[in-house]
Chain A
């Protein structure tokens, strides 16, 4: 275990989170086309950052920084990391951040088509998931974790966590599509709003049941209860933010410009959604780390009888 590598991976994950916030600010301010150019902004590397160009060019600067950090992270991993699958994940992270940059450029050049903008927002979450996973895999707690011998309960937690994760990811795609389907001065499409609300119900059920199951079955295992508690707490915050974001967004078409309450709350909703996603990823990864696979579990369960 290399403490420096882990700290650097955490730094990249934090920078990615900041990048997601910067991207959400661009969408909420309707600043995506503040410059028609890409990768330069109005033909310049450092344009005068006034008006909405502040948000768009600022996002590009943060993205460039994250891209650089990812390159350094990959080099760090290739030098210090022995596990081939972690090295491969580092390569994947670099490819993902390159693809993300290209998608960002493409959506500007094509003038924000819904499919490309939504794909850009979705890949952002996947890239965040990757950097957080790298931080998890290089951590001391991951390397030193011991395998629990028993999975209490009939329904394996691995399955529950995976189901919750997939549900959250689908909800993130729906959220990204909803956000990019209408600018601040347009009404949100009702069918997408309803689908996103139904998605929130599904996430609440999936993550709620998973988190509570973890807390019930493994209450003494902080390795599992900590991410479960964080995910559940963030879920509650996220639901409130979702309601608040909807209410402020309902009013925004009548506003003269994107106002701070709407911008702040919708960006917080996006950021909190990303945190719910990654905390569930941490929970899922840790579940896979310490809990035996269902077939192993049955072997382990059978051992005492054999002896």
Chain B
């Protein structure tokens, strides 16, 4: 066997092994991959200490009054929920609920980008219920490929219809008493509107994220994003609307620290393009070694 033949033989074996390994790898990636989160397969996992970001979302000015919904088209809705009102602006004592707050991007301690890290897809499912001809919760977040369990607690049929731009659109009827519908979205998307074509007032919004670094403001306007690797991030507060509003804020998180980021919406709210100087003091820089 001459030298040239040996070289060709080695190359052939190497290529064959490469082909076999890539084909095996292909089989592994079929269907929802629990660990990829739609990101790069080689993404690292953060193993160090983490901190959190929390804050309160306020509504400045007089919020729009909720509007009464006419449920005459489906008496079941009226019987279960006689005072069904719109839930697009839920304000209590000046605090705004249903604002989706998430880390958009940033640099993790050590210099790597947040996008260079991956998180395991939670095995727990997120529930979206139809109760009183109303989606509950109104705004929710899931991770890419995380199971979304949709239930119908009403004595009437509903029709779940997400209208994403990046994910697959689907439309499915769920009669009363039908088993839960389980779905997942395989691409990150902010945020997917969900409607019910049978009851046009029913709306929900689903944020699909590559990371678990998101939260939704509660009735008191409070939110908390846990498990944040130390670093500098752009945090976005998203609020539904004809044109959804987004408020960005730069936040620094330290290991085991708790950064504060308050947001405000409404007529007198500050600009949504860049965080103003007035907003900056709301960010606290926790002391290192606090633990």
Residues of A within 8 A of B (CB): 29-37, 42, 48, 50-54, 111, 184-187, 253-258
Scoring B residues 62 to 95 as 1 if CB is less than 8 Å from chain A, else 0, what string do you get? 0000011110011110000000011000000000
Any A CB within 8 A of the CB of B173: yes
Q: Which of A32, A35, A36, A51 contacts B199 (CB 8 A)?
A: A51
Q: Are the CB atoms of B200 and A187 closer together than 8 Å?
A: no
Of B39-47, B107-115, B155-163, B182-190, the segment with at least 4 beta carbons within 8 Å of chain A is: B155-163
Q: Are the CB atoms of B200 and A258 closer together than 8 Å?
A: yes
Nearest neighbor of B77 in chain A, beta-carbon distance: A51
Q: Which of B75, B76, B169, B198 contacts A34 (CB 8 A)?
A: B198
Instruction: With A33-B159, A35-B159, A253-B242 as known contacts, state yes or no: A52 contacts B197, CB within 8 Å.
Output: yes
List, in ascending order, chain A residues with CB within 8 A of B161's CB: 33
Q: Are the CB atoms of B197 and A34 closer together than 8 Å?
A: yes
Q: Which of B85, B169, B198, B200 contacts A50 (CB 8 A)?
A: B198
- Could you list some 8 contacts between A and B, CB below 8 A? A31-B198, A33-B197, A42-B173, A50-B73, A54-B73, A256-B69, A256-B85, A258-B200
Q: Which of B74, B169, B172, B242 contacts A51 (CB 8 A)?
A: B74
Nearest neighbor of B198 in chain A, beta-carbon distance: A51
Among A33, A48, A184, residue most surrounded by chain B Cβ atoms (within 10 Å) = A33
List, in ascending order, chain B residues with CB within 8 A of A32's CB: 197
Nearest neighbor of A255 in chain B, beta-carbon distance: B67
Instruction: Kindly list the 9 A-B residue pairs having the minimum CB-CB distance in the complex, ordered from nearest.
Output: A51-B198, A33-B197, A51-B74, A50-B74, A256-B67, A257-B201, A36-B171, A256-B86, A34-B197
Compute how far the CA of A301 lies from the CA of B172 in the bound complex, rounded to whole angstroms.
68
Q: Are the CB atoms of B173 and A29 closer together than 8 Å?
A: no
List, in ascending order, chain B residues with CB within 8 A of A253's CB: 242
Q: Are the CB atoms of A257 and B70 closer together than 8 Å?
A: yes
B85 to chain A, nearest CB (A): 8
Compute how far the CA of A36 lies from the CA of B198 in the bound complex, rounded to whole angstroms.
11
Q: Which of B69, B75, B76 contacts A257 (CB 8 A)?
A: B69
List, in ascending order, chain B residues with CB within 8 A of A255's CB: 67
Among A34, A186, A187, A258, residue most surrounded by chain B Cβ atoms (within 10 Å) = A34
List, in ascending order, chain A residues with CB within 8 A of B75's CB: 50
Compute how far the CA of A34 lies from the CA of B76 in the bound complex, rounded to whole angstroms.
17
List, in ascending order, chain B residues with CB within 8 A of A257's CB: 69-70, 200-201
Scoring B residues 198 to 224 as 1 if CB is less than 8 Å from chain A, else 0, what string do you get? 111100000000000000000000000
Instruction: With A33-B159, A50-B74, A255-B67 as known contacts, state yes or no: A42 contacts B201, CB within 8 Å.
Output: no
A60 to chain B, nearest CB (A): 14
Instruction: With A50-B73, A111-B171, A256-B86 as known contacts, state yes or no: A36 contacts B242, CB within 8 Å.
Output: no
